[in-house]
């Protein structure tokens, strides 16, 4: 389905020559498939920065990049209002990218051939990427380990660095992430967060995960307190978090040993 509008493309690779090469190839196939490169980025974070301002149709992303890699970038793209299609470019096949549904996500091996690039672009131009699938890419490809969480707020994509999150709290419908400055509403499940960031966060309560390095101390609750067995005090914020009877001893042991 060749359209009158050129396909809008964002190039993401930490190596400038690799981006240059993709530009040259896109020029070569312009006769068959007109494209417009709307920007270049050196890693996932820089790419999301550009995508905040501009919509694109396709993101061509390297997998191994410093800062934020291509897999994590793809998993945040699902939160954009109109998620672009993703084509991974990778030098060496050490990620299980080929396991993905190739209608929404494709991958090309570097050095990329013009013909392969054309086929991949034509394919994604015809398909509509599924945001849910993009969200799960990170989990599938390498079992999570994201550096950032993303959420949507008044039409904008916000990124929350995991290292700044003090705790997660689950309410009826949402999970809230708290940093020193503010709260963020996330569309995540607390159990997933717990497994993905097990080395960083500790469960205090049925509805609370706390960053281990944010724990400052503990307070025993009054005997008739139905909500919690005890309370955890945090560095940087005044509020206390409830600790369940079951988590009381392991949490205290952790703080003592650190």
Which pairs with CB-CB distance under 8 Å and at least 24 residues apart come from 154-157?
155/81, 156/52, 157/48, 157/51, 157/52, 157/76, 157/79, 157/80
Q: Indicate the residue among 16 and 250 with the shorter CB distance to other proteins.
A: 16
CB of 205 to other proteins, least distance (A): 29
CB of 171 to other proteins, least distance (A): 33
Q: Compute, in degrees rounded to 10, the torsion defined by CA atoms 114, 118, 120, 125.
A: 150
HSE of 111 in the Cβ direction (CA atoms, 13 Å)?
A: 7
Q: Indicate the residue among 131 and 144 with the shorter CB distance to other proteins.
A: 144
Query: CB 77: neighbour CB atoms within 10 A?
Result: 27
CB of 32 to other proteins, least distance (A): 19
Coil/strand/helix, residue 59: strand
CB of 47 to other proteins, least distance (A): 13
Burial environment of residue 171 by CB neighbours within 10 A (0 to 12, 13 to 18, 19 or more) = exposed
Q: Indicate the residue among 111 and 250 with the shorter CB distance to other proteins.
A: 111
Q: Indicate the residue among 109 and 253 with the shorter CB distance to other proteins.
A: 109
CB of 5 to other proteins, least distance (A): 27
β 105-109/85-90 pair status: parallel
Q: Indicate the residue among 6 and 42 with the shorter CB distance to other proteins.
A: 42
Coil/strand/helix, residue 55: coil
Residues that bind other proteins (CB under 8 A): 14-18, 20-21, 24, 42-43, 64, 66-67, 91-92, 94, 109-112
Q: Indicate the residue among 57 and 62 with the shorter CB distance to other proteins.
A: 62
CB of 92 to other proteins, least distance (A): 5
Longest Cα–Cα distance of the chain, Å, equals 77
């Amino acid at each position: 389905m060749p359209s009158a509008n050129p396909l809008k493309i964002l190039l993401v690779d930490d190596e400038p020559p690799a981006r240059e090469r993709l530009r040259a190839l896109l020029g070569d196939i312009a006769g068959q498939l007109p494209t417009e490169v709307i920007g270049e980025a050196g890693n996932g974070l820089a790419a999301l920065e550009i995508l905040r301002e501009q919509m694109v149709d396709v993101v061509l992303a390297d997998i191994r990049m410093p800062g934020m890699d291509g897999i994590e970038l793809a998993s945040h793209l699902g939160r954009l209002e109109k998620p672009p299609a993703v084509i991974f470019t990778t030098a060496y096949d050490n990620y299980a990218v080929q396991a993905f549904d190739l209608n929404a996500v494709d991958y090309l091996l570097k050095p990329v051939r013009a013909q392969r690039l054309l086929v991949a672009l034509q394919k994604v131009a015809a398909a509509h990427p599924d945001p849910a699938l993009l969200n799960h890419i990170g989990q599938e490809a390498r079992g999570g380990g994201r550096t950032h969480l993303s959420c949507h707020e008044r039409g904008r994509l916000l990124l929350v660095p995991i290292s700044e999150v003090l705790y997660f709290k689950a309410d009826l419908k949402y999970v809230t992430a708290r940093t020193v400055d503010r709260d963020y509403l996330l569309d995540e499940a607390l159990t997933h967060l717990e497994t993905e960031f097990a080395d960083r966060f500790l469960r205090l309560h049925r509805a609370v995960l706390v960053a281990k390095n944010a724990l400052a101390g503990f307070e025993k609750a009054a005997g008739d307190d139905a909500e919690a067995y005890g309370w955890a005090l945090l560095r940087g914020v005044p509020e206390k978090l409830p600790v369940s009877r079951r988590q009381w001893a392991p949490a205290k042991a952790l703080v003592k040993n650190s």
